[in-house]
Structure 1
Amino acid sequence: MSTETVRPTTAAHVKRVTTQTLQAMRDEGTPIAMLTAYDYTSARLLDEAGVDVLLVGDSASNVMAGHETTLPITLDQMIYHAQCVVRGVQRALVVVDLPFGAYQGSSREALRSAIRVMKETGAHAVKLEGGAGVLSSVRRILGAGIPVMGHLGLTPQSIYKFGTYKVRARDADEADQTRTDLRKLAEAGVFGVVLEKIPAGLAADLTASVDIPTIGIGAGVGCSGQVLVTHDLLGLTKDFNPRFVRHYADLGTTVTESVGRYVADVRARAFPGEEESY
């Protein structure tokens, strides 16, 4: 097969996004744009489009590997995806999810996993799901000089505990726990927290209660920024249409129709033509 990969070279004028950049954006009221990425080509395109943060999400378990949940993906697989993404990035901050099983056992295990991600991928930060239950791991990772992003609200790695993907923190007790968890994560030193699928009013209140950026997904416009799964944004996942997703393209249909035309041309011996032949 003939393929050619043109790796981007970092131009001198390209200013890298850092955790300090995100803090400044939050302080200035400039919304942060974050998307998922799992491979070199998409990372390069998203980076060129001006996305501030690329999340190598454990959602790769769903959209890349076809699993029902995020639980099956391994640390080795996350490292592979992150390596691919980092090669395509000149500007964006690259954050890597620590997958299920890579940090829940102990803070020592969490640190080992985070160190592997940073050393083997060249990424800039890691992300963990949970609040009070992961604080010891968060502190230990931060103590090693590794930036950490938190994740509260709906935490997909705990889906079997929740039993549903419905909106979280609607009741007062869970909302109060989310407030406590956010405060503790902020005090521990995380540089930002994803707030997933919680009421918009609560997300706005939580955002105003801390001095670090919050990134919403299904959490309303009151967060410091927003994140979506790129496959959803581009209309590549036809069978997933939650309320919080906006489809900016219908690439699923475009791909199917384009490949269909290619198949038809091959069958009719209309491809390759003289102009595509040597």
Structure 2
Amino acid sequence: MGMYHSRPHVEDIRKMKRDGQKISMLFVSTPDEAAAAAAAGIHMLSIEGRYFDHEMRDAAGNCFVQVGLPYGGWGSFAGRPLATAEDYLRAAFHFAGLGGDAFYCAASYDIQKALCDNHLPVVGHIGLIPSYITWTGWRAVGKTADEAMRLWRHTKKLEEIGVFGAELEVVPDRVAKFLTENSSLVMLGMGAGKYADAQYLFTEDVCGYGKNHKPRHGKIYRDLGPEFQKIQDERVAAFKEYKADVDSGRYPGYEHTVPIGDAEFDIFMQAAKG
């Protein structure tokens, strides 16, 4: 595995924030998607732990990679859900060894702090947090003064613990602007308007092959959905023809078969029956 000496580190991403540089970020789940992002010069990738391995790190090239640590029952590491700070540390160090640059963690403050205390760059989550969805429902968070204050308190708490960045999801743009400008956290905006430090989208939304509900902030740049459907239809057709050939005995044909000379075969048959 290469060391990717030219890929950015936390200090570089922080400098981009300080300099007001725009940061692009994508959620990818296959080596092809990661390689395409690297070729396009995307700054940051978000990759779930279950997809992150040497092949993914290599495909991601010079992109800064945030590895998502599975939360509670939302996934497992080494065959069991992450529950304790030790579980999270073990997972984070494993992914750090594979070349992860930062670690998304939506667990409790004490667990996030344990990771920070071990000098691991942690990305928290502010606003609409899918793993806590039962408390908010699927909606924008921070549209009331009270809720916006909760987001601000959450931001200050993450900062205090030593967290490096946070996914800022579906938050009103003016609230997002205040949080971004008044915090050292690198704010990775997903539906948080143009003032967040980074703009973060899912590959499936950018490429139009999302099967899930399309979010308001999603923007389709290429509609690959029909192309993928066409490939899938062709794949199904190929499999059907193959099965029909097997059923009818058309496959395998003579050209797919290894021959044996008559003399050798006769000697073998005599010996076998002998």
TM-score by length of 2: 0.76
Alignment partner for residue 197 of structure 2, among 220, 224, 228? 224
1:173 and 2:146 are equivalent in the alignment = yes
Letter in 1 for 2:220: H
**Structure-2 change in CA distance of 1:145 and 1:156 (3 Å):** same
User: Counterpart in 2 of 1:247?
Assistant: 220
Does structure 2 retain, via aligned residues, the 8 Å contact 1:129–1:152? no
Does structure 2 retain, via aligned residues, the 8 Å contact 1:196–1:218? yes
Q: CA RMSD in A?
A: 2.7
Offset at 1:87?
A: 2.4
The structure that has the greater radius of gyration is 2
Alignment partner for residue 71 of structure 2, among 72, 95, 100? 100
Letter in 2 for 1:213: V
Q: Which runs of 5+ in 2 are unaligned?
A: 242-274
Alpha-carbon distance in structure 2 between the residues aligned to 1:149 and 1:266: 44
Q: Secondary structure at the match of 2:52?
A: helix
Letter in 1 for 2:206: L
1:113 and 2:113 are equivalent in the alignment = no
1:129 and 2:109 are equivalent in the alignment = no
User: Counterpart in 2 of 1:62?
Assistant: none
Q: Secondary structure at the match of 2:66?
A: strand
User: Counterpart in 2 of 1:143?
Assistant: 117
User: Counterpart in 2 of 1:46?
Assistant: 37
Q: Secondary structure at the match of 1:152?
A: strand
1:154 and 2:128 are equivalent in the alignment = yes
Alignment partner for residue 61 of structure 2, among 90, 94, 97? 90
Q: Secondary structure at the match of 2:221?
A: coil
**Structure-2 change in CA distance of 1:109 and 1:263 (3 Å):** closer
**Where is the strand percentage greater, Structure 1 or Structure 2?**
2
TM-score by length of 1: 0.75
Does structure 2 retain, via aligned residues, the 8 Å contact 1:232–1:240? no
**Structure-2 change in CA distance of 1:129 and 1:175 (3 Å):** same
User: Any idea what the Cα deviations from partners look like across 1:141-184, whole Å, max 9, x if unmatched?
Assistant: 1121211111110110112333x211112222221111011112
1:214 and 2:191 are equivalent in the alignment = no
User: Counterpart in 1 of 2:250?
Assistant: none
Offset at 1:17?
A: 1.4
Q: Which runs of 5+ in 1 are unaligned?
A: 1-6, 58-77, 269-278
User: Counterpart in 1 of 2:269?
Assistant: none
